Amino acid sequence: MVRMIPRFYRKNKWRIVSLWILGSICMLLGSLIAGQLQRTIGTSDMGLLVAFVLSLMFFLIAGMLWVAVALALREVEEE
């Protein structure tokens, strides 16, 4: 399955760059949300938990996108 990911990018190399930028945007959104997490007056525990999980999801999505880009670039460089 690991070898199937880079085959997707052989014809269209702009997809590698677009996934790299999308991963950067997800990382930015995750860090913006995580940077504002604080317990203040009017913040419920459920709202804090939802923001934490949303931030974590953005970080995980960004990591997966960057791993896919790294695999695709390795395959492109081997050709």
Please report the pLDDT score of residue 35 as a whole number: 92
More confident residue, 76 or 52: 52
- Asked whether 58 and 29 are in contact (CB, 8 A), the reply is yes
The residue with tokens 């399955």 is 1
- The encoded tokens of residue 42 equal 């009017």
Chain segment 5-60, per-residue pLDDT in tens: 555 555 567 778 888 899 999 999 999 999 988 888 888 889 999 999 999 999 99
Question: What is the value of pTM for the model shown?
Answer: 0.77
Q: Domain limits of the chain?
A: 4-78
3-state secondary structure of 39: coil
- Asked whether 64 and 22 are in contact (CB, 8 A), the reply is no
Please report the pLDDT score of residue 26 as a whole number: 95
pLDDT band, residue 1 (cuts 50/70/90)? very low
- How far lies 39's CA from each of 14, 33, 50, in Å? 42, 13, 13
Please report the pLDDT score of residue 56 as a whole number: 96
